[in-house]
Amino acid sequence: GAGVSQTPSNKVTEKGKYVELRCDPISGHTALYWYRQSLGQGPEFLIYFQGTGAADDSGLPNDRFFAVRPEGSVSTLKIQRTERGDSAVYLCASSWGTATGELFFGEGSRLTVL
C-alpha cells in the first residue's frame, strides 16, 4: 500500500477496557505521529516518534495512554482503562524526517467507549 494504514478503522469498547490501535506508516518514513480528533475539532498532537524512540510525548493526556514503535516502522497506541471521554478518531501520520513538511495522514481509527 502506498499510504498510511490504520487498523482497526472502527473500535467499540466498554468503559474500563484496554485498547490497541495500530499504524503502518509509508515505507521509508522515519517520523511517525499520533493525533486525536474529537467531533467538530481539529486534530490534537499526542506523540511523535523519530525512528524507534518517542522524541516528544508531551501531548499524551495522561498515563493511561502509551505508544510504542519497537522496530522503527509500525506503531501501536495503547489506551488502558478507557473512559467515555477517550472517544474520538485517532489519526496516525508519517513523514520523511524532522524538518517541517508534509504529514501524510491515515484515515484514522474511530474509537467509541460505551
Partner 1 sequence: GENVEQHPSTLSVQEGDSAVIKCTYSDSASNYFPWYKQELGKGPQLIIDIRSNVGEKKDQRIAVTLNKTAKHFSLHITETQPEDSAVYFCAASSGAGSYQLTFGKGTKLSVIP
Residues 6+ apart with CB under 8 A from 16: 81, 82
Q: What sign for the dihedral angle of Cα 46, 114, 83, 68?
A: negative
Half-sphere exposure (Cβ direction) of 9: Cα atoms closer than 13 Å: 4
31 touches partner 1 by CB under 8 A: yes
Long-range contacts of 48-51 (CB under 8 A, 24+ apart): 49/75, 50/97, 50/98
> What grid cell was written down for 65?
495512554
Q: CB of 22: closest distance to partner 1 in angstroms?
A: 15
Q: Which of 19, 60, 91, 113 binds partner 1 (CB under 8 A)?
A: 91
48 touches partner 1 by CB under 8 A: yes
Q: CB of 15: closest distance to partner 1 in angstroms?
A: 26
102 touches partner 1 by CB under 8 A: yes
45 touches partner 1 by CB under 8 A: yes
Binding site for partner 1 (CB under 8 A): 4, 31, 33, 40-45, 48, 56, 58-59, 91, 93, 95, 98-100, 102-103, 105-108
